[in-house]
Structure 1
């Protein structure tokens, strides 16, 4: 489908309102090394004390990261973990693109809905304690306490409920393998810090977030969101990152990867029209 043939369809897309600022969704309390954070179209190094927002992308790198006040839950990211945060109504959603998460509800916190997404799975982990691991082969879930409900989109939303001390693997087309206790492979691979309760760490209220701007994002920076295993809102992402079309390398990568898709064709057309009127 070429750009000209899309013009009629673009009429309703070109007048998309600007993204609204999302409310806070937690705070980084521990970062062994600065985590990489993408907010709007900018890449930052984020240190302890950074308050997170909806639509933030966070990558732990080679060290662990501890988050607090996230939907009434303390969350640890293992090394090599990438997440994307969304806030919709009273629900907080963590898209686990890859890596390890540990969840631990905060005592006395107001109940709040915490959802997680991995490739093909939607998990409701509200007020649940446990460990979740996702990689190219699938997802593993271990519930330490509480209950986690898992919906498999690839199997007509087949539902599996895991309760205290239950473990399951969701891989390929096979039915979930719930075996009651984690496998030895899972235990060996789990980050060492996940074997202990997550610590409470006080964070002072600074004048602003301790963010160190690195640069504007490249296509490689945002590819885990655009090409990753978790299905995200492609229209919202195209609108968000459209200012980077002014970078020729970014624009070329978008044309090569997403030429012909409506969300990005809308933004490419808008960019070209803006350039033609200058």
Structure 2
């Protein structure tokens, strides 16, 4: 009900010119939402701009709406962890990639001609699309998605990260990835999926981005991220972790953060070189014995 009221309110507020929008923003918030930028934690505020590599985290009972200047709207349900991995495509076939470590999102988009695809990847399931509206749930061992309209390509990954052949999924179809990493498809989601789905996902996501114009809105700095807050990412899929070592290396100076890395080193062995560089020094070369 609160979201519907927000839509009506938006219709009464003078809108800034659409051409003024050049940044993705969090345009609507309920509850506690944090953004991890570099190594800092920000308390999100409506209108806060987000950038590549930002991590958006919603607390239990929270909800966030994220809007992009190309028209993509992304609802983020409670208890979700989302990273904006690549917003600037690289290479001829580059896509803009989001990583959903866990939780719920609803995506709604009609991308302009020439825009690159989006891809949202979970640990075991990735969806790629241009024009679609869908709801995705990523759980600890299972994932599921319902395509409301449009089409997308779904790709499952095995335990070693190897991709299966993509599956085309059209509007009205529901797909589920079980603990055995097999992908099943059927018409319409089951009752359990619908019951667990965040309530704001039952309605279309409202366009609120133009309300903020070019205003600069800052999030309150809550300090540096501790190990517990970023551990799920540092221990996530290996392909996601490569850029996180350099990003969070400055936090090794904090004794508690360092100890967290050491205690969980088996979950992210790439940190051993940072924590114990002496182990990787070349062995001293001994001079050959002198001739008599």
Q: TM-score, normalised by structure 2?
A: 0.77
Report whether the alignment pairs 1:221 with 2:193: no
Shift of 1:141: 0.9
Q: Residue in 1 aligned with 2:177? A: 170
CA distances 1:165-224 after superposition (whole Å, capped 9, x unpaired)? 000110111632211111111111111111111111133246533210111111001112
- The correspondence for 2:150, drawn from 142, 146, 149, is 146
C-alpha separation in 2, matches of 1:25 and 1:162: 30
The residue that corresponds to 2:261 in the other structure is: 254
Q: Is the 8 A contact 1:134 1:140 kept in 2?
A: yes
Partner of 1:42: 40
Aligned-residue CA RMSD in angstroms?
2.6
Please show how residues 1-278 of structure 1 align to structure 2 within 5 Å. Answer: 26-61=24-59, 62-69=61-68, 72-87=71-86, 88-89=89-90, 91-106=95-110, 111-154=115-158, 156-173=163-180, 175-201=182-208, 202-205=210-213, 208-228=216-236, 230-258=237-265, 263-269=270-276
* 2:176 partner SS: strand
- The total of aligned residue pairs comes to 249
Q: 1:212 to 1:165 in 2, by over 3 A?
A: same
- CA offset at residue 268 of structure 1? 2.2
Q: Which has the higher strand share?
A: 1
Equivalent-residue separation in structure 1 for 2:23 and 2:172 (angstroms): 28
- Whole-Å Cα distance in 2 between the matches of residues 46 and 156 of structure 1? 35
- Structure 1's consecutive aligned runs of 4 or more residues displaced over 4 angstroms after TM superposition are 106-110, 259-262, 269-272
- Mark the CA change 1:156 to 1:33 in structure 2 (over 3 Å): closer, same or farther: closer
| Stretch of structure 1 that moved more, 155-164 or 75-84 | 155-164
C-alpha deviation, 1:153, in angstroms:
2.0
CA contact (8 A) 1:33 1:47 kept: no
Partner of 1:3: none
Give 1 or 2 for the bigger CA radius of gyration.
2
- Segments of structure 2 that go 5 or more residues without pairing to the other structure are 1-21, 280-292
| TM-score after normalising by structure 1 | 0.81
Deviates most, 187-196 or 153-162? 153-162
Shift in alpha-carbon separation, 1:148–1:158, aligned structure 2, 3 A: same
How many Å separate the matches in 2 of 1:69 and 1:96?
Answer: 17
Cα distance in structure 2, aligned partners of 1:40 and 1:195: 34
